[in-house]
């Protein structure tokens, strides 16, 4: 795992030697991604920078890495799990290797196959290869977006980095010296003029308030894009048009009927998962497994134990508050698989103390409060290992969330007579009790009713939304909203356009059923910009690499091709997955209900985090900023703190934005 950065002058002119200052500033800001070394390379119009976390070939895998003939140079973040098989294929074609690293295999694969190399690479990656004679930069991101890649094109320069904040450093004047992008005395309007521009994107901000993150390919800055998963980008000097990302892979649609009997499918799934885990055990440094005691992490831990001749190291955290604690189940799984288990039990208050600082260091605003336990778990693991395997991806591909059931229930609920829905059920919901615990009955039912009322394409996101259009109209400052699109910007088709694009991905519109499309939305939106961002940022803050066997290409394609009924069987979630691994999992794990990495945010906002909330969302701070109506925000705070409503999601989403803006000041 590493941090990468680079830049190319699009007119083909040579970069100044001073480019090293800009690159070093960028890579230094990502030091936690690569504490084991740094490297820089420059030739003509291109320059590349790298921070290294050593995992494979500790002595010989330094980057930037050049090909033997000096024509190509690569910076790579991630792991290529099939690099040994691919290396043998390339050697048979005449390639000669100087290192044992997966990075050199990725480079030689590009030399041999060009863009088609991506069809052969199995792993998580973001990389860029400079081709000197062709004056071309080839950039690519893995199939699910496990590794980040941000880029901007301004003033005749293409710049990229693993983190948004690293790119934004180019918006600040550097120390005195030559212009790093070009002429010794650059002037505004000339190619290569620094600083570059980074302005907050009003549309992205409104989408953040709704989604709790900014959906890819957007970012919080108008000038910056995130390369979409399973896409590559070709940047050529002298090109007359901006490069357009190109898709190189896609998830298949589900089949209409099972491709075999259930017993046969279970055997195939077990074989694919075992191979996925085996591939991810290749490491020259210690590795272990995140073990929550849930279905997914327990499957990974059990398969690791089968492959390992020594006890696997497993890691979990728990809470002193019983309603949020899963440590008992982690210990059951650890005992069943004979792991060397390490756990840390915390009070929720300790977690609350860490939360604001974690959010401030997250690089992108992301209001999933479970980033706190993920960060703490990463810290526990990093005390003993450099690599950890986890169960990420299973919930999205195998219908692990309650929202999948909610989607199916909504279809049935809407078939009920209107008098029953509006005259009986909805009034009952309004009188359900409030709770600040793990489950709030009224909040859960109100969220379900909003989702049921939404159109099919918007239902998944409605179940997840923090501040919908109505609440945004209430809290956004009227003058600010009028200046940035007004009512049209908050129309569902505009605000939630990324969701509509993913929902309608498969054409024609009757090519896949609504629930199948909901799976696609979860994988290509929520998993990408929430789950994978959370895991990447929280683990990288501890210089820990996390690998996800459930997102192995063959495992994911197998799951995606199955009819929805084999993943959500009636109201049974992860149906075939549980059946396939019923012989591996302890009964207590196999038959337990899913529990997410939840923490008592609602309670904290009424207690331990209330002073911070009052400061961040207070009248003085909001008036000075000009984004929000202080009186409207105050009404939300008072309604939550009095217990009249559970507004944990919108309030925490607002607080995270304020924390992020303080750490990343910018203007519209």
Q: Is residue 630 part of a domain?
A: no
Dump pLDDT digits (tens) for 478-505. Answer: 999 999 999 999 999 999 999 999 999 9
Mean pLDDT of 173-182: 50
Q: Is residue 558 part of a domain?
A: yes
Average pLDDT, the chain: 91
Question: What pLDDT is attached to residue 428?
Answer: 86
**Together in a domain, 217 and 293:** no
The answer to whether residue 192 scores a pLDDT higher than 50 is: no
Please tell me the distance from the alpha carbon of residue 496 to that of residue 504, in angstroms, as a whole number: 13
Dump pLDDT digits (tens) for 598-637. Answer: 678 888 899 989 999 999 999 999 999 999 999 999 999 9
The answer to whether residue 39 scores a pLDDT higher than 80 is: yes
Mean pLDDT of 148-163: 96
Mean pLDDT of 505-531: 92
**Together in a domain, 67 and 179:** yes
Question: What pLDDT is attached to residue 531?
Answer: 96
Q: Is residue 390 part of a domain?
A: yes
Question: What pLDDT is attached to residue 600?
Answer: 82
The answer to whether residue 323 scores a pLDDT higher than 80 is: no
Dump pLDDT digits (tens) for 372-399. Answer: 889 999 999 999 999 999 999 999 999 9
Helices (H), 79-194: 83-92, 102-113, 164-168
Q: Is residue 299 part of a domain?
A: yes
Dump pLDDT digits (tens) for 106-115. Answer: 999 999 999 9
Helices (H), 398-490: 402-413, 418-420, 426-430, 441-453, 456-464, 469-475, 478-483, 486-489
CATH of the domain at 98: 3.60.20.10
Q: Is residue 607 part of a domain?
A: no
Look at residue 180 and give its three-state secondary structure.
coil
Q: How sure is the predictor about 596, in pLDDT bands with cuts at 50, 70 and 90?
A: low
**Together in a domain, 186 and 269:** no
Q: Is residue 272 part of a domain?
A: yes
Dump pLDDT digits (tens) for 430-472. Answer: 878 766 555 678 888 888 899 889 999 999 999 999 999 999 9
Q: Closest Cα partner for 138 from 164, 118, 163? A: 118
**Together in a domain, 128 and 10:** yes
Mean pLDDT of 252-274: 94
State which of 571, 590, 609 marks the end of a domain.
590
Question: What pLDDT is attached to residue 443?
Answer: 81
**Together in a domain, 13 and 48:** yes
Q: How sure is the predictor about 188, in pLDDT bands with cuts at 50, 70 and 90?
A: very low
Question: What domain range is 186 assigned to?
Answer: 2-247
State which of 572, 590, 608 marks the end of a domain.
590
**Together in a domain, 243 and 267:** no
Mean pLDDT of 98-103: 95
**Together in a domain, 230 and 342:** no
**Together in a domain, 33 and 94:** yes
Alpha-carbon radius of gyration of the chain: 25
**Together in a domain, 236 and 328:** no
pLDDT-above-70 percentage for the chain: 95
| Phi-psi group of 246: left, alpha or beta (phi > 0 → left; psi -120 to 50 → alpha; rest → beta) | beta
Q: Is residue 456 part of a domain?
A: no
**Together in a domain, 305 and 239:** no
**Together in a domain, 294 and 359:** yes
Please give the structure tokens belonging to residue 397. 């591909």
The answer to whether residue 191 scores a pLDDT higher than 50 is: no
State which of 247, 277, 296 marks the end of a domain.
247
Most confident of 203-217, 337-351, 503-517: 203-217
Question: What pLDDT is attached to residue 186?
Answer: 41
Please tell me the distance from the alpha carbon of residue 579 to that of residue 268, in angstroms, as a whole number: 12
**pTM metric for this prediction:** 0.94
Q: Is residue 643 part of a domain?
A: no
Q: Which residue has the higher pLDDT, 519 or 354?
A: 519
**How many domains are there within the chain?**
2
Question: What pLDDT is attached to residue 121?
Answer: 98
pLDDT-above-90 percentage for the chain: 75
CATH of the domain at 373: 3.40.50.620
**Together in a domain, 220 and 340:** no
N residues, the chain: 668
């Amino acid at each position: 795992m590493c941090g990468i950065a680079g830049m190319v002058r699009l007119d083909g002119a040579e970069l100044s030697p001073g480019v090293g200052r800009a690159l070093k500033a960028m890579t230094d800001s990502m030091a936690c991604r690569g504490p084991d070394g740094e490297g820089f390379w420059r030739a003509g119009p291109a320059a590349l920078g790298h921070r290294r976390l050593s995992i494979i070939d500790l002595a010989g895998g330094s980057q930037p890495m050049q090909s033997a003939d000096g024509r190509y140079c690569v910076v790579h973040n991630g792991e290529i799990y099939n690099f040994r098989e691919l290396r043998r294929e390339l050697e048979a074609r005449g390639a000669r290797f100087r290192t044992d690293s997966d990075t050199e295999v990725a480079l030689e694969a590009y030399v041999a196959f060009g863009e088609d190399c991506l069809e052969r690479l199995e792993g998580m990656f973001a990389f860029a290869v400079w081709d000197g004679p062709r004056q071309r930069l080839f950039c690519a991101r893995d199939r699910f977006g496990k590794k980040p890649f941000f880029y901007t094109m301004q003033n005749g320069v293409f710049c990229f980095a693993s983190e948004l904040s690293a790119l934004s450093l180019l918006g600040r004047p550097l120390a005195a010296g030559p212009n790093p992008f070009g002429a010794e005395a650059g002037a505004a309007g000339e190619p290569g003029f620094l600083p570059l521009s980074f302005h907050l994107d009003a549309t992205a901000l409104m989408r953040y308030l709704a989604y709790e993150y900014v959906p890819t390919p957007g970012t919080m800055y108008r000038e910056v894009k995130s390369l979409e998963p399973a896409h590559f980008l070709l940047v050529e000097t002298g090109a007359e048009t901006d490069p357009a990302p190109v898709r190189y892979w896609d998830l298949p649609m589900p089949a209409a009927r099972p491709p075999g009997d259930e017993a046969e499918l279970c055997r195939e799934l077990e074989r694919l998962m075992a191979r996925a885990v085996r591939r991810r055990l290749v490491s020259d440094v210690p590795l272990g497994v995140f073990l929550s005691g849930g279905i997914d992490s327990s499957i990974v831990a059990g398969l690791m134990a089968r492959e390992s001749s020594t006890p696997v190291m497993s890691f979990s955290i728990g809470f002193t508050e019983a309603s949020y604690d899963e440590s008992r189940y982690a210990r059951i799984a650890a005992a069943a698989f004979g792991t060397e288990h390490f756990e840390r039990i915390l009070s929720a208050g300790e977690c609350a103390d860490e939360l604001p600082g974690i959010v401030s260091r997250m690089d992108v605003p992301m209001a999933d409060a479970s980033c706190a336990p993920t960060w703490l778990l990463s810290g526990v693991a990093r005390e003993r290992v450099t690599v950890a395997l986890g169960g990420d991806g299973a919930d999205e591909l195998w219908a692990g969330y309650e929202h999948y059931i909610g989607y199916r229930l909504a279809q049935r609920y809407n078939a009920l007579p209107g008098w029953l829905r509006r005259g009986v059920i909805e009034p009952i919901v309004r009188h359900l009790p409030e709770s600040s615990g793990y489950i709030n009955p009224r909040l859960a039912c109100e969220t379900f009713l909003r989702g049921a009322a939404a159109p099919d394409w918007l239902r998944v996101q409605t179940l997840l939304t923090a501040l919908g259009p109505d609440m945004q109209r209430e809290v956004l400052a009227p003058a600010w909203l009028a200046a940035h699109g007004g009512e049209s910007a908050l129309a569902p088709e505009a605000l939630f356009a990324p969701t509509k694009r993913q929902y309608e991905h498969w054409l024609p519109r009757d090519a896949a059923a609504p629930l199948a499309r909901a799976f696609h939305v979860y994988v290509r939106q929520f998993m990408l910009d929430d789950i994978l961002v959370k895991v990447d940022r929280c683990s990288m803050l501890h210089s820990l690499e996390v690998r996800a066997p459930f997102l192995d290409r063959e495992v994911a394609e197998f799951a995606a091709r199955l009819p929805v009924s084999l993943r959500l069987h009636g109201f049974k979630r992860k149906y075939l997955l549980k059946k396939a691994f019923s012989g591996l999992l302890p009964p207590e794990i196999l038959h337990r209900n899913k529990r997410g990495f939840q923490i008592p945010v609602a309670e904290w906002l009424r207690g331990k985090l209330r002073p911070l909330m009052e400061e961040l969302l207070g009248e003085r701070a909001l008036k000075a900023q000009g984004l929000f109506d202080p009186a409207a925000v105050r009404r939300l705070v008072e309604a939550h703190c009095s217990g009249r409503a559970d507004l944990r999601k919108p309030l925490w989403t607002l607080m995270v934005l304020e924390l992020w803006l303080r750490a990343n000041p910018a203007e519209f």
